[in-house]
Structure 1
């Protein structure tokens, strides 16, 4: 089956239609027989209907012609879908019904008066372009509803070549979008993909012996033979790959349509899009992430990750041309990856729903496999289990999206996100995929620069990612042996919390049935009992560690109890800021506020007491930090010459509810408060100031940024020393929770 055969079928049908028109005495003026829809596009499949329209000028009598026109076609074995309308009635029908309009945009003259057809087409296209801004939201809604109903050609178990997302209907919609003159598309890629999918449909209908667009499971083997492919798996890969390409073009085009529709109509000549710098080498232009002028991917191997992370977090398009350039020109990442690369990759994975389109772009441009060569193992791989609604690769991306919503619940969101990406990497072979995936996951984690204990944690999560769900549903949770089974493989509370989150994300990504309330209840019950067992075995929580090296106290700090010494040193991938001051309530808040005012992004921090002095060390990715300016900002805040509260309040805006938890098991000498919220400038300053106002002293702080989340742990005591009472701890947690909840954009 090929385009040639479709052309031949179309030619036969055209001849039959022309003959029927002539035999019925069709006039040469004022009336035309027009092919629309797939027939108008010359895309007839072996069992396609002929979509025909007899269109005429007002006042021309076509009753006799219409009464006899269709019978010769039916007698000739054609299935005919027909209508008879005036030109004005046709234009009205197109204006009232988007489906009718889409079919008419492919109108092609067959017989009769060509001027009628030309006039009709001209008016149809003029109206389509004129009303595009008004009609495209409706077409968008219609397209989404179809996608929700049918699913994605690249992933559903029984794909529909026509109606599925990434199918032939989407290719038709794309042509209609181009006809608005609002956007353009890569025509060559679309035409090649559409023709390839038409070939598949021709073979499918020939194999099935009937009109069908759905590939039933039993037809894959024969379809493979007809396509000249090795087996059913290869046939699925071929068909789903076409669907991916069309879907990627469709998603990209619709994002551009959305950007155009969001713009005000200004009657001025077009101007070049303005570039807004959003990260080093990366800019936002017309709703798409592009490279800044002068950016050199060959000199900045992190540029590709920076661009992808910015696009995903902002849920905007990573311009395909930009991604292709990054894929072709980017220097390889050093092995092991630097910390910033790992952070950017975690930001990308933890970006939520914005990950989907960006990862699709990375796949289509070959960047995904450059970043993760092991991705080829699962790319386009069908799931053997019917419970999965997606292919393995899409399931993995969906697992990352689900896991991103759970990062508040775990101590190591970066480990969770990488484990979510790699949990099914062992699929496609004969060995249990959990067993096969563990060494692969360890190798990838080590290459990404994780520490040895973190590599072990990623490997263990991949190895045992099915443990909780399988054990909870097949063993008695009241039996001590059940808990012992889990505790034998998951030996720490940290690993257990990560496994619980990964289990939930994996199940939710598989299907709604995979994470029912029943299954969720069993898993959580088993996890609670395992945690109790692990805590019972523990010898007790370790006290927070103070600064390892005692710092020399500058003379000005010895003389002035309000002075704050600030030093800055350059590190391999940023800067380290160290402050030292007399230990007083609120000093940490003052330093944190100064950093926020300077918009210095904090990646990690530590704070501790050195005798009567307070020391804090802040890690940032910024290489040029002016110590003198920062020192002046701290002094201004300490002396009340600068009040940063309003400015910080504007900075600390988040999208998700914060988590503030008291951890009584973490220390016997201090009360431990764990704060989790979106990583925003000013969060630490806000928390430290609130604690100071409660007359609570921060004795040690362990602040880190993991992906898009800030995880801040504060070891606090009463100002007069000693742990907080349960009531005071609850009051502090309640205050912080309310303070941070007020910053959530709802």
Structure 2
């Protein structure tokens, strides 16, 4: 599809509308049929509505034309969005509703009185320019709210190419901003990107056969064929790149609008902006970093990074024209970089929220390829994991922003920030991205001029940036083997502190849910144990593993349940006389209340002459009925509640469940890892199956990766330690049969 095809499609619709107006006996004066919105701009997609308005002068009654004009259009099968309004009603509607005002910005005459259409257009434009300063803040809020609800075209999993940030709606808003005469939003990139997105929408409508602007995952592959691209990923990157460019132009223009609105209205006409020197060769003018009057970028290879750092630290615009000139005129940075260049990069990365718009300008002007050519590896690369809200490159920048808030917790902030920048640089390779990224990060850090120790630290952090999170959330942090697995790869106190901060920054940047209270607690707990081990100190005590007070009722054979709520969910502590299957019964109680189990720990505690089973559960819901939790364990143990019939067994969809014995994960227990679809009741199914083999589950650790659950169970013989090879195989077989629903 091309602009010429849209022109042909629009011309055919225009002819249809004119014929309908003539057939309805529309007059030549006082009444006009006009096109609005995308139809007014001549941008009809194959499934677009015809957005038309029958306008009449206030003292003219359109009569039967107001009804008859639509019938030929309906009969033609056209999709129609129509209305009848007087001239004053049009202006009032535009005054009261910004969405209406935007739709009427591109009114185009179709039939009837051309002078009426001209008056309407003139009235709309004059009102827009006259009221721009008063109405632009409301428009900005409207745009921001839409962005918040829909997300960014460059990043959301199912993008809306019209309403998302960086979509066609934003391109229309930019044209509206330019119509106010307050800012200049025009650029070759804007029109090129807009036309490319219109071309894509035409292909999308042809592919799905309906007027939707949302791109479902399954249509990327056929759209790639229509675009002449290699595969679905290439099609995604093509469209998301357009969205990024339009987002950048939109943010830049709104920053300029803010600057204009912040300045008093001049009655003497425009004045040449003053230049405020802020760094060698760099000045500030009207909220933008530009070149100073006598700057010599041809003699200064660091000027680009210096300008970027100044703009980001001050949270102002790096003027794209300035960045483009610096790309053209600055000599290339020598290898290794001078200290000033490295310091400027670190300052840029440490600038917090000011980093994103400046980094986008560096991307759009081609500046990144000059000092970080490896960035092209991850530019607009979609994430394979559903927990990520951004593409890989944007996620990296968000990680740097998060890391900038943690630099006071580490001795080497520069290492933390550069590791954050490079932690996913290996994405897109066939090998594990952390493995692929390590040598790339080492080469980049060396080129940047870091000393050998810093280079080793950066490479180590890139190689193991997932390690702390993976171990803490999927293994027992109190098992010596868990700590050994961590310290075997990251053993120094400095490296551990850096890894802890990088893990938090990476998780927070992935999605709000990726750094939950529970996850943070597990990671901090393992980090404390690791720091203590490195320092030669005893492991710190933990509330989940210390002895608890045992009520007399439990000593007499009863059950005690305590619920402690917090912001991230709840901790449920269950006490009862110890026996095999106690953890399974507790799991059944929680599953019957639809609680999302995050982790469980079980141990025996001696209380007088009674061995008490203590299980501590971390669950995702805080709104639990404590009375029901106290009553049901007894009902289940006495057989009054049959958990097997009350709980629906999960039936695997897609990939079959995988049950693996992790022989090296613990010396005190046998570790079973269960990977399957995330369904309620999985912990009960596993614990129940193991209890029937007279096996004891001492802890369970539940992680959810998108739609998949990764559950890890530490299993022991009733009165012994780890299972024999034969018993471990039997346990794995029983668990797999249970989660498949093939056993009673």
Same fold (TM over 0.5): yes
> CA shift at 1:516, angstroms?
1.0
Does structure 1 residue 173 correspond to structure 2 residue 173?
A: yes
1:230 has 2:230 as partner? yes
Alignment of 1:247-396 (within 5 A): 247-396=247-396
Distance 1:63 1:296 in 2: 71
C-alpha distance in 2 between matches for 1:503 and 1:187: 40
Deviation at 1:4, TM superposition (A): 1.3
Give the equivalent residue in structure 2 for 1:188: 188
Which residue of 1 is the match for residue 609 of structure 2?
A: none
What residue is the counterpart of 2:103 in the other structure?
103
TM-score (norm 1): 0.71
| 1:27-80 deviations in Å (ceiling 9; x for gaps) | 101110000000000000111001111111112111311111111101100111
Are 1:69 and 2:69 counterparts?
yes
Distance 1:432 1:82 in 2: 55
SS at match of 1:254: helix
**C-alpha separation between the residues in 1 aligned to 2:387 and 2:195?**
32
1:186 Cα deviation after fit: 3.4
**TM alignment of 1:133-532, pairs within 5 A:** 133-532=133-532
Distance 1:20 1:536 in 2: 88
- 1:487: Cα distance to partner? 1.1
Deviation by residue 1:140-176 (Cα, 9 ceiling, x = unmatched): 0010111111111111111111011110000000000
The residue that corresponds to 1:9 in the other structure is 9
Distance 1:220 1:445 in 2: 37
1:490 Cα deviation from its structure 2 partner: 1.3
SS at match of 1:449: coil
Distance 2:209 2:90 in 1: 35
**SS at 2:163's partner residue?**
coil
Report whether the alignment pairs 1:129 with 2:92.
no
Distance of 1:428 and 1:189 partners within structure 2: 27
Q: CA deviation at 1:537?
A: 7.9
Quote the Cα distance in structure 1 between the aligned partners of 2:186 and 2:137.
22
CA offsets 1:577-620 (integer angstroms, 9 cap, x no match): xxxxxxxxxxxxxxxxxxxxxxxxxxxxxxxxxxxxxxxxxxxx
Which residue in 1 is equivalent to 2:28?
28
Partner Cα distance (2:369, 2:266) in 1: 42
Deviation per CA, 1:70-91, whole angstroms, max 9, x where unpaired? 1110110011111111111111
Cα deviation digits, residues 694-725 of structure 1 (max 9, x gap): xxxxxxxxxxxxxxxxxxxxxxxxxxxxxxxx
- Name the SS of the counterpart of 2:536 in structure 1: helix
Partner of 2:719: none
Supply the distance in 2 between the matched residues of 1:185 and 1:62 (Cα, whole angstroms).
Answer: 39
Instruction: Provide the residue aligned with 2:56 in structure 1.
Output: 56
1:327 deviates by 1.0
Deviation readout 1:204-247 (Å, 9 max, x if unpaired): 11111111111111111100000111111111111111111111
- 1:2 deviates by 1.0
- Three-state SS of the structure 2 residue aligned to 1:456 is helix
1:610-668 C-alpha deviation (Å, 9 max, x unpaired): xxxxxxxxxxxxxxxxxxxxxxxxxxxxxxxxxxxxxxxxxxxxxxxxxxxxxxxxxxx
TM-score normalised per structure 2? 0.72
Distance 2:185 2:150 in 1: 24
Partner Cα distance (2:383, 2:41) in 1: 35
Residue 185 of structure 1 and its aligned partner are, at CA, apart by 2.2
Q: 1:720 — aligned with what?
A: none
- Provide the C-alpha distance between the structure 1 equivalents of 2:154 and 2:296, rounded to a whole number of angstroms: 34
Partner residue in 2 for 1:634: none
| Mapped partners of 1:446, 1:8: distance in 2 | 57
The DSSP-based 3-state class of the residue aligned with 1:261 is helix
Shift of 1:269: 1.9
CA distance, structure 1, for counterparts of residue 66 and residue 86 of structure 2: 13
Distance 2:296 2:428 in 1: 37
| SS state at 2:51 partner | strand
Which residue is equivalent to 2:78? 78
Tell me the SS of whatever aligns to 1:353.
helix
Q: Within 5 A, what are the aligned runs for 1:31-46?
A: 31-46=31-46
RMSD: 1.0
Spell out, residue by residue over 1:301-344, the C-alpha distance to the aligned partner (whole angstroms, 9 max, x if none): 11001100000011100000001111111111111111111111
- Distance, in Å, in 2 between the alignment partners of 1:159 and 1:325 is 34
Superposed displacement of residue 188, structure 1: 2.2
User: Within the alignment, does 1:47 sit opposite 2:30 as a pair?
Assistant: no
Q: What SS does the corresponding residue of 1:207 show, helix, strand or coil? A: helix
Superposed structure 1 runs of 4+ greater than 3 Å apart: none
Counterpart Cα distance in 1 of 2:489 and 2:290: 45
Verify the 8 A CA contact 2:178 2:186 in the aligned structure 1: no
Structure 2 equivalent of residue 670 of structure 1 = none
Change (3 A) 1:186 1:124: closer
Q: Which residue is 2:544 aligned to?
A: none
Task: For residue 70 of structure 2, give the secondary structure of its aligned residue in structure 1.
Answer: helix
SS of 2:332's equivalent in the other structure is: coil
Q: Is 2:25–2:65's contact at 8 Å kept on the other side of the alignment?
A: yes
Counterpart for residue 118 of structure 1? 118
Distance 2:207 2:57 in 1: 44
Give, in whole Å, the separation in 1 of the partners of 2:298 and 2:265.
39
Question: How many Å separate the matches in 1 of 2:374 and 2:274?
Answer: 38
Looking at structure 1, the residues matched to 185 and 178 of structure 2 have their Cα atoms a distance apart, in angstroms, of 7
Q: Distance in 1 between matches of 2:184 and 2:269?
A: 18
